[in-house]
Structure 1
Amino acid sequence: MRVRAMALGALAGAVLLAGCEDGSDPAKDAADVAEIEAMHDMPPADMLKPERISYTDIEKNNLFGAGCGFAPEDSTAILFLAQEKHGFVKLDKRIVTLSPDVGSTELPMKAYGKYDGKEFAAELTIDQAADGEQSGIETTQYPGKLVLHDTKGRTVFERTGTVGCGA
């Protein structure tokens, strides 16, 4: 924290010194200082730790249906389910429901690339250049990434892995 404060102080000093040059714009300088102060006043983001969505969770919460599921690299644990009408993530042993951003990229099986919730948003991407690998009769797997953002847009979870889409 002390190093961060020193770095912000040095950056603020550099901005102020830059204002000493001829032709400086006082309004821009003030905006730069305000931005640095706002960053300094913002507490660090609380990182999220999504938990495995088990088959029991799927049964108990009726999460059945076509869509895509994200599993991080070197794991088969599904951490996020993306469906046409909802996205699901498990945090602190409870399933959190997110709403799809229907204006975002459409993924296979009527899933979407972005989902929004009260406390965070999810962004699920697949490598469009990669050919999906058939992994079952109705399932295709793609390389992909899951990113969760807090309400201030800060990344609070980010992993690459596999996105399996099917019915």
Structure 2
Amino acid sequence: MQGILQIRQTPAVIGIDADPGHYSISQPKAELTITTTPGKLSVESTRPVLLIDQKQARAAYNGGTVLEMNGRIYSGIKQLYLQAIARRVEQGNRMSEFFKPGNTIGEVYGFDTEPNSFPNPCGPASYDNVKIRFESQAPKISYRAATVDVQATRHDPEIEYTRGKLDIYMQQYNSVEFIPPEINMQI
């Protein structure tokens, strides 16, 4: 009888235990430095001025200052003096023609009874003797615009790499097994 020879073969098995490596990347935030200079608005204004000139009104009420009053009296006396001289000349001319009717001494000098007036020491009265003037100035405006200064400081990324593990081992060795047939010993 024939027997069958059995051959059993076990392959080799290599075991690999690998963990991948990993990266760790971090980057700190950039630092911003912001400096702001505020704008500035400056307004300078002066008070308005009300100017009232009452010199002509005072001159009309009470003659004004002593110098003004004396000036009006002096110029008025000069005018009155010239008028009186002119009147006397006219009266003298009429008297030289005494032969004409109406030129008698009584008629020429008799009706001249009004006293010589004194010049008015006051100025002329008028509705616009008080002068009012209002002065104002435009405000001085200056403006400085606001400024913003931004400075950025960046940080480089921080990169770390952790290696993984790699274990290579023989999980199973290869083998060949020969199993001989059974031999019958009884023969």
TM-score (normalised: structure 2): 0.20
> RCO greater where, 1 or 2, for CA within 8 Å and sep 6 or more?
2
TM-score (normalised: structure 1): 0.22
